[in-house]
Amino acid sequence: MSSLPSIATVIGSGTMGPGIAATLARAGATVRLYDISEDAIARAEAAYGVVQGVLAAVDSPSAPGGSVSFGTDLDAALEGTELIIEAVPEKLELKQKVFADLEARIGDEVIIATNTSGIPITTMAESLRVPGRLIGMHWSNPPHLIPMIEIIPGQATDEALVGQLVDIVKAFNYVPVLEKEIPGFVENRVLYAILRECMALLEEGIVTPEGLDACVKWGIGYKLSVIGPTRLLDMAGLDIYQAVSSYLNKDLDVSTDTPQFIKDKIAEGKLGFKSNGGMYEYGEGDVDAKRKEIVTGLIAARKTLSSIPNV
């Protein structure tokens, strides 16, 4: 646990920030969770107990002394910090403004890790006073349950920082995946390739949302949670992959924009759980119930997957 910073700061307390903060705190770090919104901080404080229960349920590494404090005072959040994890909305200009606010308050030695879903680190670093301190640290949602983090150095990232971040991630028992920089990184390139085809199948009426979810959960998700895509090809046979991909690849969706029906839903204010409706509709209490089912399922699956060999 010695690689873990004593003090860390998480900037942005929305979907991702609280789980990131709680994971580091349980491993022994003093974590300050900062947001510009009092409401976001209040929601995070309210959810913290639940997240701690989830971390205990999956036996997440724990060390004494860790804590999370919550607040909207940036100077207080940065005092003595060694590692800052930025988790504000996915907008380049906003992230760059946040970096400028941070750099006006911190010494050159402080690391800034960004949880961007895929904006190139090199682009983000262009505006920094100390570009070498910026590195991609992409957690997957929910961050306190998915024990894998993509690490993406940009062209300017200090070489020593890469190994340092790998050690930090290992210190709380997550799997670090070191990648070369590419938009969307690896996880979201794969996820968005799947989602593009899924949305096209829905838009064309080939399958219902319920049918799609069942097909992907059992036909793809279940299998790929045990064997990775590379091993899957060995199991299926490369000759089969050649036979199918030779006619199927040319038929797969290649749209370059967000599907129109998704844009229409967003225009109607349908964003998913956060607006009680999105791909599905949710009545009173349904969202809380679904959230609980998802967390329960992920806890059970993580326990099972942790107990079987990597094949």
Ligand X SMILES: Cc1ncc(C=O)c(C(=O)O)c1O
Q: Is 225 an interacting residue with respect to ligand X (CB under 6 A)?
A: no
Hey, which residues between 5 and 44 contact ligand X (CB under 6 A)? none
Residue of 156, 34, 130, 131 lying closest to 84 (CA atoms): 34
Residues that bind ligand NAI (CB under 6 A): 11-17, 35-37, 40, 87-90, 94, 98, 115-117, 139, 141
> Between residues 25 and 86, which has the closer beta carbon with respect to ligand NAI?
86
Q: Which does 13 bind (CB under 5 to 8 A by kind): ligand NAI, ligand X, none?
A: ligand NAI
CB of 80 to ligand NAI, least distance (A): 19
> Between residues 4 and 119, which has the closer beta carbon with respect to ligand X?
119
235 among annotated binding-site residues? no
Q: Which does 87 bind (CB under 5 to 8 A by kind): ligand X, ligand NAI, none?
A: ligand NAI
Q: Is 3 an interacting residue with respect to ligand X (CB under 6 A)?
A: no
> Between residues 92 and 212, which has the closer beta carbon with respect to ligand NAI?
92
> Between residues 101 and 293, which has the closer beta carbon with respect to ligand X?
293
CA distance 55 to 40: 21
Read out DSSP for the chain? -TTS-SEEEEE--SSSHHHHHHHHHHTT-EEEEE-S-HHHHHHHHHHHHHHHHHHHHTT----TT-EEEEES-HHHHHTT-SEEEE---S-HHHHHHHHHHHHTTS-TT-EEEE--SS--HHHHHTT-SSGGGEEEEEEPSSTTT--EEEEEE-TTS-HHHHHHHHHHHHHTT-EEEE----TTHHHHHHHHHHHHHHHHHHHTTSS-HHHHHHHIIIIIIIHHHHS-HHHHHHHH-HHHHHHHHHHHGGGS----S--HHHHHHHHTT--BGGGTBSSSB--TTHHHHHHHHHHHHHHHHHHHHHTS---
> Between residues 81 and 116, which has the closer beta carbon with respect to ligand NAI?
116
90 among annotated binding-site residues? yes
CB of 41 to ligand NAI, least distance (A): 8
> Between residues 127 and 140, which has the closer beta carbon with respect to ligand X?
140
CB of 248 to ligand X, least distance (A): 24
Q: Which does 148 bind (CB under 5 to 8 A by kind): ligand X, ligand NAI, none?
A: none
257 among annotated binding-site residues? no
Six token digits for residue 62? 């724990």
Six token digits for residue 184? 């969307």
Q: Is 141 an interacting residue with respect to ligand X (CB under 6 A)?
A: yes
Select the residue whose beta carbon is closest to ligand X and give its number. Answer: 117
Question: Residues at the annotated binding site for NAD(+)?
Answer: 12-17, 35, 90, 95, 117, 141, 274
Question: Residues at the annotated binding site?
Answer: 12-17, 35, 90, 95, 117, 141, 274
* Interacting residue ranges for ligand X, rule: CB under 6 A: 117, 140-141, 188
